[in-house]
Amino acid sequence: MDEFKYVDGALHCEKVPVRALADEYGTPLYVYSAGTIRDHYARIRSAFSEVDATICYSVKSCHNLSILTLLRDLGSDFDIVSGGELRRVLEIGVAPERIVFAGVGKTNDEIVEALKVGIGWFNVESEEELENIARLALDAGKVARVALRINPDVDPKTHRYTTTGLRETKFGVDIERAKQVFKCFRGRDEIDLAGIHVHIGSPVNTIEPYVQSMTRACALIDELNNAGYGIRAINLGGGFGAHYDGAEAPFASEYAKQIQPLLANRGLAVYLEPGRSITANAGILVAKVLYRKASGEKQFLICDAAMTDLLRPSLYGSFHFVWPVDPGACAVPSARSADIQLDGSVLVDVVGPVCESGDFLAKDRWLPSIEQGEYLAVFSAGAYGFVMSSQYNSRQRAAEVLVDGRNAKVIRQRESYDDMVALERL
């Protein structure tokens, strides 16, 4: 499913040895595989071809301009959640009507800018927001095309921080309320309220929650259309899983097999907003082991990457498979799983230099014996990795490299100390 593979005992990204990249560009380093992104995008595209789904790549999962350009060239549309993301997508010359704009807290500046350039859809999360968009659209002499985000009250069985489709979360409006909103905004010329949007959470490693939420959304659309509302589009959001620990995520084709029949032959335009399922396994974070320290049974591997580079373990307790970049012939893992424990391995915590006990990348892992100065690969780091990085402890953000076949290119330089203080004033 991705192009990070051990060849003769050395980790490669496509045709390039990862060690060579770390030696040349330094660590911590994000390395992405263009081929993997193309492959994941193509799988989703073909899985949902029967409903001719428009794929709006979720910019927040990995927002580097070169990654966005790669997706643009594949024909992707884009899902954004802020004015900053709007700027990124416009920066690479995407037609504004190929952008959908979600988010619970859109500011007036963001809405006005989006109206001005003419984005495709606003995915609206509350009545007050819709009222505000209507007012700003009227002022600007524009018509805002809107999909109302409903909250289908479905449990996606994922981390509570990334559960978004339950009634008690801040996202969307519940179905009864949605009917009221449609009624209330009927006949307003500045609003083209023509779609239903649903995004239940992430990652959703079972298909049933989508079936439930799409069934509810379609029932609502039928009811509205029978009453003459003219709903033309359904957006089923993102949230498809990725393989972090073994092979826990269904294939795009498996999601499609159950979801697509619910949407086919309804005359609706279908939108998807995948992020993680495209980028998670298209990127790794490479770190160097600075020091080793024993503590009872356990060894700490203190490395130069930290929670400031990859926050997911600290924030969500997420599992990322970690393995040496050059383990040699005898210790290449057969799968990326928490259950891997080869002979002679050592129990370790992989931690960073930040002054927080929550600063770890991996806990209680069995790794081959590691030398000082060795490189470690933290897998499945392409989504919600670099984009969540920070300068806490005045750490420079990592460099990012994109590999395509035999070629590697820096797509974001490592920050310098000058960059770090550039905006501050004495």
Ligand X SMILES: *Cc1c(COP(=O)(O)O)cnc(C)c1O
Catalytic sites, residue numbers = 355
Interaction between residue 199 and ligand X (CB under 6 A): yes
Min dist. Cβ of residue 56 to ligand X (A): 8
Q: How far is the CB of 267 from ligand X (least distance, A)?
A: 23
283 counts as binding ligand X under rule CB under 6 A: no
Count of residues interacting with ligand X (CB under 6 A): 19
Sequence-distant (6+) residues with CB within 8 A of 337 are 245, 246, 321
Query: Is 318 a residue that touches ligand X (CB under 6 A)?
Result: no
- Residue 63 or 288 having the CB closest to ligand X: 63
Taking CA atoms, 240 is separated from 154, 200, 230, 237, 248, in Å, by 15, 10, 29, 9, 11
Q: Is the dihedral of CA 239, 241, 244, 245 positive or negative?
A: positive
Q: What span, in angstroms and rounded, lies between the C-alpha atoms of 89 and 113?
A: 13
Which residue lies nearer to ligand X by CB, 263 or 289? 263
Q: Which of 237, 313, 382, 385 binds ligand X (CB under 6 A)?
A: 237
Contact flag: residue 60 with ligand X (CB under 6 A): yes
Under the criterion CB under 6 A, does residue 274 sit at the interface with ligand X? yes
Cα R_g (the chain), whole angstroms: 23
Is residue 397 a contact point for ligand X (CB under 6 A)?
no
Q: Does 61 sit near ligand X (CB under 6 A)?
A: yes
Interaction between residue 202 and ligand X (CB under 6 A): yes
Quick one: 44 or 287, whose CB is closer to ligand X? Answer: 44
> Is residue 238 within the footprint of ligand X (CB under 6 A)?
yes
Is 335 exposed, middle or buried, given 0-12, 13-18 or 19+ CB atoms closer than 10 A? exposed
Q: Rounded to the nearest 5°, which phi and psi values hold at 342? A: -85, 160
Q: Which is nearer to ligand X, 136 or 249 (CB)?
A: 249
> Are the beta carbons of 324 and 6 closer than 8 angstroms?
no
Report the nearest approach of ligand X to the CB of residue 401 (Å): 22
Instruction: Report if residue 203 touches ligand X, rule: CB under 6 A.
Output: yes
Helical spans, DSSP H, in 245-317 = 252-263, 276-279, 312-316
**Among candidate residues 374, 367, 278, the one with its CA nearest the CA of residue 18:** 374
Q: How far apart are CA 75 and CA 246, in angstroms?
A: 30
Distance CA 263, CA 235 (A): 11
Distance (Å, rounded) from C-alpha 176 to C-alpha 346?
55
With b for 16 or more beta-carbon neighbours within 10 A and e for fewer, the 186-225 pattern comes to eebebbbbbbbbbbbbbbbbebebbbbbbebbbebbeebe
Residue 239 in contact with ligand X, rule: CB under 6 A: yes
Pick between residue 123 and residue 308 the one whose CB is nearest to ligand X.
Answer: 123
The span of 179-187, 272-280, 301-309, 401-409 binding ligand X (CB under 6 A) equals: 272-280
CB of 241 to ligand X, least distance (A): 8
Q: How many helices and strands (H and E) does the chain possess?
A: 12, 21
Q: Which is nearer to ligand X, 61 or 318 (CB)?
A: 61
Q: Per CB under 6 A, does 58 bind ligand X?
A: yes
CA distances from 423 to 85, 388, 390, 418 (A): 21, 20, 15, 9
276 touches ligand X (CB under 6 A) = yes
Say whether residue 275 binds ligand X (CB under 6 A). Answer: yes
Backbone phi and psi for residue 111, each to the nearest 5 degrees, phi listed first? -65, -45
Q: Which of 77, 79, 190, 304 binds ligand X (CB under 6 A)?
A: 79
Nearest to 252 by CA among 42, 37, 2, 100: 42
CB of 58 to ligand X, least distance (A): 3
Residue nearer to ligand X on the CB measure, 199 or 365: 199
* Binding of ligand X by 178 (CB under 6 A): no
Q: Which stretch binds ligand X (CB under 6 A): 34-42, 197-205, 214-222, 357-365?
A: 197-205
Q: Which residues bind ligand X (CB under 6 A)?
A: 58, 60-61, 79, 81, 102, 199, 202-203, 237-240, 273-277, 383
